[in-house]
């Protein structure tokens, strides 16, 4: 009996970010569908948590561990998510490009899949990224904006457009939805619930801009008879922000959900009637469940996913107008049936594009 194919997965996993855990969850689902015998080893910030949540092998993500497990793998997967950007830190792209460099040095095929590219502020990061991505075996980005970014960087190679791996997640069951509503404290709420997922902005001096967004959301919910439910997608950053946002929404009775795993958040979103979000994967969770998403854009990746959904952001932080956001929420609420139908029509295509990431990774397996 031949050994199972071995894949080493590099990404921002094991840090409690629901979006990144959703990406890994989607990747696991894709492999279960196309190659259930595959052995996935994930570089993780918290291996024990990654094992418990995803049922995969997980090891510390330090470069020494990475190099050791690159040597044991058949294919190295870089992605998905927003790994290759230096808006938060120059260290982030340096780490992920180092994994790619070590893999190619060890003569292992590399699949760079399901990623968005940028923002890229530093010339040396752009140069390093162009050099390393020219060496990988396949590149599949999750939106047209990312492909255009790579083309402008001068990367002369084939670049596929796929979709975020989270689109492979199965819809939650009624039992999951009921359990998580109880956990979130909304099981007895009679008004329709609007999920709200905000985030701090990289480099922002304070949360004033986010509180302004929260106040507009609270105003719209009050006018429409909606109960706002603040969902922390990354607890280390979002829990305190959610409390601050809830105060800005007063007196509309905003509820703040506790920290949850990605699958629980997906089920909670499925129980809501509207999603108002800055967080990319909150928007994707809504789309997966047929819940109309209203995006407040702060990054090109948000624009990219909304374009794939056939929608446009309701507001942009750089040119934020509270009145415009309030109107957009009201318009989406009144047309929510049409939006849900459009999301349902687009779902098979987005799932197929997400699954393409896994197909590309499998195509790199050496012939046995």
Give one DSSP letter per residue of 314-343, joined into a string.
SEEGGG--HHHHHHHHHHHHHTHHHHHHHH
Identify whether the C-beta of residue 255 lies closer than 8 Å to the C-beta of residue 168: no
Most confident of 181-195, 200-214, 233-247: 181-195
323 pLDDT tier (thresholds 50, 70, 90): very high
Q: What are phi and psi of 312, to 5 degrees?
A: -125, 150
Over residues 205-232, the mean pLDDT reads 90
pLDDT digits (tens, 9 = 90+) for 293-320: 999 998 889 999 999 999 999 998 878 8
Identify whether the C-beta of residue 79 lies closer than 8 Å to the C-beta of residue 100: no
269 burial via Cβ count (<10 Å: 0-12, 13-18, 19+):
buried
Report whether pLDDT(205) > 60.
no
Tokens describing residue 47? 């291996």
pLDDT of 72: 97
Helix (H) or strand (E) holding 245: helix 235-249
Map out the domains of the chain with their CATH numbers. 6-168+350-362 (3.40.50.2000), 174-347 (3.40.50.2000)
Crossing angle for the helix pair 47-54 and 18-34, nearest 10 degrees? 50
Crossing angle for the helix pair 300-308 and 144-152, nearest 10 degrees? 130
User: What average pLDDT does the chain have?
Assistant: 94
The lowest-confidence range among 44-48, 141-145, 317-321 is 317-321
pLDDT of 202: 67
Report whether pLDDT(350) > 90.
yes
Question: Which residues of 38-150 form beta strands (DSSP E)?
Answer: 39-44, 57-60, 75-78, 81-84, 110-117, 138-141
The lowest-confidence range among 19-23, 73-77, 236-240 is 236-240
Report whether pLDDT(368) > 70.
no
Crossing angle for the helix pair 63-72 and 91-105, nearest 10 degrees? 30
329 pLDDT tier (thresholds 50, 70, 90): very high
Percent of the chain with pLDDT over 70: 98
pLDDT of 87: 86
Cα angle at 96 between 94 and 102, to 5 degrees? 95
């Amino acid at each position: 009996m031949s050994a199972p194919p071995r894949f080493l997965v590099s990404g921002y996993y094991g840090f409690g970010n629901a979006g990144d855990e959703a990406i890994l969850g989607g990747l696991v689902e894709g492999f279960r569908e196309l190659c259930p015998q595959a052995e996935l080893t994930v570089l993780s910030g918290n291996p024990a948590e990654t094992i418990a949540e995803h049922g995969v092998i997980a090891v510390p993500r330090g470069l020494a561990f990475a190099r050791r497990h690159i040597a044991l793998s058949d294919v190295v997967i870089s992605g998905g998510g927003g790994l290759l950007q230096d808006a938060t830190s120059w260290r982030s792209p340096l780490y992920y490009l180092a994994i790619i460099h070590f893999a190619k040095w060890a003569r292992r095929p590399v699949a760079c899949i399901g990623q968005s590219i940028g923002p890229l502020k530093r010339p040396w990061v752009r140069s390093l990224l162009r050099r390393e991505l020219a060496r990988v075996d396949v590149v599949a980005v999750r939106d047209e904006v990312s492909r255009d970014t790579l083309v402008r960087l001068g990367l002369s190679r084939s670049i596929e457009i796929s979709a975020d791996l989270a689109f492979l997640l199965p819809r939650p069951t009624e039992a999951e939805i009921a359990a998580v509503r109880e956990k979130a404290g909304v099981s007895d709420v009679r008004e329709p619930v609007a999920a709200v997922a905000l985030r701090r902005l990289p480099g922002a001096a304070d949360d004033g801009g986010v509180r302004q967004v929260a106040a507009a959301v609270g105003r719209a919910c009050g006018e429409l008879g909606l109960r706002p439910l603040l969902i922390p997608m990354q607890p280390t950053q979002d829990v305190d922000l959610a409390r601050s946002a809830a105060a800005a929404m007063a007196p509309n009775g905003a509820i703040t959900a506790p920290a949850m795993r990605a699958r629980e958040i997906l089920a909670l979103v499925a129980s809501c009637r509207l999603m108002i979000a800055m967080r990319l994967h909150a928007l994707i969770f809504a789309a997966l469940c047929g819940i109309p998403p209203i995006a407040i854009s702060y990054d090109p990746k948000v624009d990219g996913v909304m374009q794939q959904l056939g929608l446009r952001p309701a507001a942009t932080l750089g040119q934020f107008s509270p009145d415009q956001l309030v109107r957009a929420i009201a318009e989406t609420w009144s047309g929510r049936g049409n939006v849900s139908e459009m999301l349902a029509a687009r779902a098979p295509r987005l799932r197929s594009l997400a699954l393409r990431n896994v197909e590309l990774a499998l195509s790199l397996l050496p012939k046995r």
